[in-house]
């Protein structure tokens, strides 16, 4: 009996090997058999002449099967077959006409005819337009191969242009609250099949996640943790005095000077955070700021303390959610102070298309912030 074996050649073509299994008499030796002679006449020297019945004729007649049984233990014929030839075979098989097959394939009829002739040459058969049992059995397998190939190529192109795939992002909690909702909304509308993974962390944590490959990109403040990461500035986020709505400083609107914060319990950040080094760049400011009453590690804790009116703080504007109605933000001047936020990526690494698309949407969401 015979069965096909499919291989992928280095030049991109598909190789088919027809293997024949027999049970020969003991001591018999299979006769030598040159390549590309699948359908040569049995009992005659191989001259390369094709079997009179072709790919769309009796490719696997009973007579051929009987002759194959005398060829030895295992024989193999390696045939170079191309994707266009297989597509032409499927189209002609399904349509029953070279003309209709040419229309389906958007090819000229001579091109389809040539493809079929080349396929028949590789298989060692000639053209007859009626499918035999052998070629009919051959058809579903070829269609399955082509469908899997088309699906794989579609997935490849989708990943290459960013319409599929995934993107992992690490951001500061303030960015997650203010910027990410609108970013995800627009990005998901444009790329609904791309998965998104989000992590929130402080600036050092964001850098670590980018460095160890846990995420594709991050958005955080500039820190001393710059080895191995690239920082692309996105915007400057101004600091302001944040107080409870009942606090005396909340009774007025507009900017406020640092000297006006003197005498109030000041809530600041620990030295290992991204914000404390920024505050430490200031000079000639009240002692309650340089020697704070309470030090914490994250903005959420600061806001929780402020909501109970336990003190005041200096925070970047984006860290105070606009829907917070328990606290008031007043921009600090004399001097003004800013937190620089930027895109963090690994040095020497290009972003995948899905990540690049996410960055574009995030920059669009940030634009009102830096145009303010």
Please give the pLDDT value at position 162.
54
Using the predicted structure, report yes or no on whether residue 281 has a pLDDT greater than 70: yes
Three-state secondary-structure class, residue 105: helix
Structure letter (DSSP) for residue 8: E
- DSSP H helical ranges for 50-171: 62-68, 83-95, 98-105, 109-123, 133-161
Structure letter (DSSP) for residue 49: P
| pLDDT band (50, 70, 90) for residue 121 | confident
* Cβ atoms of residues 152 and 96 within 8 Å: no
Residue with tokens 């997935």: 155
Contact partners, residue 354, CB within 8 Å, separation at least 6? 159, 162, 164, 165, 166, 167, 191, 194
Using the predicted structure, report yes or no on whether residue 150 has a pLDDT greater than 70: yes
Reported as a single tens digit per residue, the pLDDT across 244-268 is: 999 999 999 999 999 999 999 999 9
6, β-bridge pairs: 16
Three-state secondary-structure class, residue 112: helix
Please give the pLDDT value at position 77.
45
Distances from the Cα of 179 to the Cα of 1, 233, 249, angstroms:
66, 16, 28
Reported as a single tens digit per residue, the pLDDT across 201-241 is: 988 889 989 988 889 999 998 876 667 899 999 989 999 99
Using the predicted structure, report yes or no on whether residue 1 has a pLDDT greater than 60: no
Please give the pLDDT value at position 95.
83
* Cβ atoms of residues 269 and 295 within 8 Å: yes
C-alpha torsion angle, residues 63, 68, 70, 72 (rounded to 10): 180
The rounded distance, in Å, linking the Cα atoms of 296 and 298 is 6
Using the predicted structure, report yes or no on whether residue 271 has a pLDDT greater than 60: yes
Averaged pLDDT for residues 334-339 = 94
Among candidate residues 248, 278, 275, the one with its CA nearest the CA of residue 261 = 248
* Cβ atoms of residues 315 and 233 within 8 Å: no
Reported as a single tens digit per residue, the pLDDT across 283-301 is: 899 999 999 999 998 888 9
Using the predicted structure, report yes or no on whether residue 76 has a pLDDT greater than 80: no
Q: What would the two tokens of residue 43 be?
A: 């009992």
Write out the E strands in the chain: 2-8, 14-21, 74-81, 164-171, 193-200, 217-221, 229-244, 256-257, 266-269, 294-296, 312-316, 327-333, 338-346
| pLDDT band (50, 70, 90) for residue 135 | low
| pLDDT band (50, 70, 90) for residue 79 | low
The rounded distance, in Å, linking the Cα atoms of 195 and 7 is 34
Among candidate residues 211, 44, 33, 59, the one with its CA nearest the CA of residue 120 = 59
Please give the pLDDT value at position 131.
55
* Cβ atoms of residues 90 and 41 within 8 Å: no
Structure letter (DSSP) for residue 339: E
Domains delineated in the chain: 2-158 (1.10.10.10), 167-372 (3.40.190.290)
The rounded distance, in Å, linking the Cα atoms of 285 and 334 is 10
C-alpha torsion angle, residues 268, 272, 277, 278 (rounded to 10): -60
Q: What would the two tokens of residue 283 be?
A: 């000079």
Please give the pLDDT value at position 368.
67
Mean pLDDT across the chain, nearest whole number?
76
Please give the pLDDT value at position 45.
34
- Asked, as a colleague might, if the bond just before 335 is cis with ω within 30 of 0, I would say yes
Please give the pLDDT value at position 59.
36
The rounded distance, in Å, linking the Cα atoms of 74 and 70 is 11
């Amino acid at each position: 009996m015979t069965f096909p074996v499919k291989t992928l050649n280095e030049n991109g073509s598909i190789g088919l090997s027809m293997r024949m299994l027999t049970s020969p008499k003991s001591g018999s030796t299979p006769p030598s058999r040159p390549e590309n002679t699948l359908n040569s006449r049995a009992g005659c020297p191989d001259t390369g002449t094709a079997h009179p019945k072709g790919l769309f004729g009796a490719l696997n007649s009973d007579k051929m099967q009987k002759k194959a049984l005398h060829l030895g233990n295992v024989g193999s014929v390696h045939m170079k077959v191309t994707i266009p030839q297989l597509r032409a075979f499927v189209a002609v098989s399904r349509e029953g006409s070279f003309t209709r097959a040419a229309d389906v394939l958007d090819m000229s009829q001579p091109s389809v005819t040539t493809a079929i002739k080349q396929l028949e040459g590789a298989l060692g058969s000639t053209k007859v337009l009626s499918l035999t049992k052998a070629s009919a059995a051959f058809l579903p397998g070829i269609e399955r191969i082509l469908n899997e190939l088309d699906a794989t190529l579609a997935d490849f192109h989708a990943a290459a242009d960013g319409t599929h795939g995934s993107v992992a992002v690490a951001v500061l909690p303030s960015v997650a609250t203010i910027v990410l909702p609108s970013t995800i909304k627009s990005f998901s509308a444009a790329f609904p099949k791309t998965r998104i993974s989000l992590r929130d962390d402080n600036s050092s944590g964001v850098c670590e996640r980018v460095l160890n490959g846990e995420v594709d990109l991050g958005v955080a403040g500039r820190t001393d943790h710059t080895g191995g990461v690239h920082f692309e500035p996105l915007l400057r986020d101004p600091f302001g005095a944040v107080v409870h709505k009942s606090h005396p400083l909340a009774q007025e609107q507009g900017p406020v000077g640092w000297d006006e914060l003197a005498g109030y319990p000041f809530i600041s950040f620990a030295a290992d955070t991204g914000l404390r080094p920024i505050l430490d760049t200031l000079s000639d400011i009240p002692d309650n700021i340089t020697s704070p009453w309470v030090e914490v590690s994250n903005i959420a804790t600061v806001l929780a303390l402020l909501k109970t009116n336990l003190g005041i703080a200096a925070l970047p504007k984006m860290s105070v959610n606009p829907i917070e109605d328990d606290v008031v933000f007043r921009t600090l001047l004399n001097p003004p102070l800013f937190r620089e936020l930027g895109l963090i990526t690994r040095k020497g690494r290009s972003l995948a298309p899905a990540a690049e698309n996410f960055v574009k949407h995030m920059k669009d969401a940030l634009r009102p912030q830096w145009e303010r």
